[in-house]
């Protein structure tokens, strides 16, 4: 028997709430009862013990960044090279991280993510895919999207969709408004998002499929999701800390670290995002981890690659939301771990007995400064470079084994 006994811990669980005491992990599983005499004992010093983060929708497998960010499971986006549209590719992706990292592939909804012919969803699901997705793009053909949702419903797989109408966003790198005009950047109206959301919500309602909008970032988009949930549509949505904390003003110096997909929105949209987080419209808080090195970022803004590193900064930025009173700690754990695990159909994300012993020890008050050049992982291109934050992951256990 292998046992880990965490003592003097402040445990935060979305099911049990916040408690002060011990947590026992036996043979990789959270357990009840008395710790055996030979258990490895760790004094947590009153610091936070949380479930390992389940990051829904990462673009790159980045073990060092995930370890530093307390992420023990990731849902991998389908836009890889090659695209995750064949069972062999899906199976390999699902297995390459174990035992330190569990990867849950999101299979491509269409072959090559071209938005035309449906991929072999059922076979990919049997190979380990936990969802199907449109990747970084939107399926423009409504008939194809209808078939995707219908087929996924029959397989009981969630469809993870990117919500931007590609007919309006072609060539755009920013949201239309004062900042884009002043900088002379190619821009598209924020209407691109609610247009895409409205169509996909109507199709999800008609088919009864499970739809997850990977990132919703506009006031109009949140209003549509809120109304659809009230009607009983099986829809959930996510967001990154970037769109909660930054507006398009962050692009004012042409800093390519702020070139994102979807692009940063107006200050009004940012405030609407915080309200949607507080009222429960937003279901998932994810990193959107999409790191890019200098060869892709040290370019003119319009020529640079969209995306930012987010795994290492996800938790400290999220903890700032709890200090600001936007959400409480149990709700934060729900956003970071429980709900993403539930959407993917995996047993994880809580600290109840019987769950995998994927836990992290966090000092919520540890001060540090985000440094893009010193961030662990593939690259550190974050728009929060130089920002002082509080909260650091101290230790990570996967199945009761320390990483």
CATH of the domain at 238: 3.20.20.140
The mean per-residue pLDDT over the stretch 304-309 comes to: 97
Mean pLDDT calculated for residue range 368-397: 96
Q: Residue 50 in contact with residue 360, Cβ under 8 Å?
A: yes
pLDDT tier at 355 (50, 70, 90 boundaries)?
very high
In a domain, 227, yes or no: yes
pLDDT over 80 at 193, yes or no: yes
Pairing of strands 29-31, 359-369: unpaired
Whether residue 152 is predicted with pLDDT greater than 80 in this model: the reply is yes
d(CA 227, CA 108) in angstroms, rounded, equals 28
Going from the C-alpha of 359 to that of each of 23, 265, 301, the distances in angstroms are: 10, 34, 39
Residue 130 belongs to a domain: yes
SS3 254: coil
| pLDDT, mean of residues 202-231 | 98
Judge whether 315 lies within some domain.
Answer: yes
Buried b (16+ CB within 10 A) or exposed e, 69-85: bbbbbbbbbbbbeebbb
Contacts for 15-20: CB closer than 8 Å, 24+ residues apart: 15/338, 15/350, 15/351, 15/352, 16/350, 16/351, 16/352, 17/330, 18/329, 18/330, 20/46
pLDDT classification of 1: cutoffs 50, 70, 90? confident
In a domain, 263, yes or no: yes
Consecutive H or E run containing 397: strand 388-398
What range defines the domain where residue 126 resides?
Answer: 52-350+379-385
pLDDT of residue 85: 97
pLDDT given at position 335: 98
| Rg from Cα positions in the chain | 21
Provide the domain count of the chain: 1
Q: Where are the beta strands (DSSP E) in 83-210?
A: 102-108, 131-133, 159-161, 174-175, 187-188
Beta strands in 234-281 (DSSP E): 235-239
| Residue 403 belongs to some domain of the structure | no
Kindly state whether residue 110 falls inside one of the protein's structural domains: yes
Question: According to the model, what pLDDT value does residue 398 have?
Answer: 97
Are the C-beta atoms of residues 331 and 50 closer than 8 Å to each other? no
- Tens of pLDDT, residue by residue over 22-76, are 999 999 999 998 999 999 999 999 999 999 999 999 999 999 999 999 999 999 9
Cα–Cα distance list, 309 to 2, 80, 231, 245, 265 (Å)? 35, 16, 36, 15, 19
Examine residue 366 and state whether it is found in any structural domain, yes or no: no
Q: What would the mean pLDDT of 237-264 be, rounded to a whole number?
A: 96
Would you say 161 and 188 are in contact if contact means Cβ atoms under 8 Å apart? no
Q: Under DSSP, is residue 291 helix (H, G, I), strand (E, B) or coil?
A: coil
Split at pLDDT 50, 70, 90, the class of 339 is very high
Distance in angstroms (rounded) separating the CA atoms of residues 268 and 133? 29
Respond yes or no on whether the N-terminal peptide bond of residue 132 is cis (omega within 30° of 0): no
Whether the bond between 29 and the residue before it is cis, its omega within 30 degrees of 0, is no
Domain assignment present for residue 195? The answer is yes
């Amino acid at each position: 028997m292998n046992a880990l006994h965490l003592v003097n811990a402040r445990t935060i669980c979305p099911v049990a709430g916040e408690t002060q005491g011990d947590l026992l992990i036996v043979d990789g599983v959270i357990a009840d009862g008395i710790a055996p005499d030979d258990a490895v004992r760790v004094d947590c010093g009153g610091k936070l013990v949380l479930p390992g983060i389940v990051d829904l929708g990462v673009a790159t497998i980045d073990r060092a960044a995930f370890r530093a960010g307390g992420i023990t499971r990731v849902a991998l986006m389908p836009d890889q090279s090659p695209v995750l549209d064949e069972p062999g590719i899906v199976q390999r992706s699902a297995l390459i991280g174990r035992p330190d990292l569990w990867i849950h592939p999101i299979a491509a909804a269409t072959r090559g993510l071209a938005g035309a012919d449906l991929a072999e969803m059922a076979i990919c699901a049997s190979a380990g895919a936990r969802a199907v997705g449109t990747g970084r793009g939107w399926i423009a053909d409504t008939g194809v999207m209808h078939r995707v949702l219908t087929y996924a419903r029959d397989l009981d797989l969630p469809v993870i969709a990117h919500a931007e109408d590609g007919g309006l966003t072609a060539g755009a790198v920013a949201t239309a408004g004062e900042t884009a005009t002043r900088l002379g950047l190619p821009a598209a109206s924020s209407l691109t998002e609610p247009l895409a959301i409205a169509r996909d919500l109507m199709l999800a309602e008609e088919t009864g499929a499970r739809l997850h909008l990977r990132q919703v970032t506009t006031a109009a988009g949140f209003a549509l999701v809120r109304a659809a949930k009230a009607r009983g549509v099986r829809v959930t949505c996510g967001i990154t800390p970037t769109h909660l904390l930054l507006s398009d003003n962050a692009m004012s110096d042409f800093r390519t670290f702020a070139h994102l997909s979807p692009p940063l929105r107006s200050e009004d949209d940012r405030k609407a995002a915080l309200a949607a987080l507080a009222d429960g419209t937003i279901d998932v808080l994810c990193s959107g981890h999409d790191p890019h090195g200098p060869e892709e970022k040290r370019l003119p803004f319009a020529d640079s690659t969209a995306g930012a590193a987010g795994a290492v900064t996800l938790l400290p930025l999220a903890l700032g939301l709890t200090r600001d009173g936007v959400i409480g700690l149990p709700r934060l754990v729900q956003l970071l771990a429980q709900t993403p695990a539930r959407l993917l159909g995996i047993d994880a994300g809580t600290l109840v007995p019987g769950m995998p012993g994927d836990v992290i020890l966090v000092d919520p008050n540890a001060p540090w400064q985000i440094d893009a050049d010193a961030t662990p992982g593939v690259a550190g291109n974050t728009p929060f470079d130089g920002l002082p934050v509080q909260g650091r992951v101290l230790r990570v256990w996967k199945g009761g084994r320390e990483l």
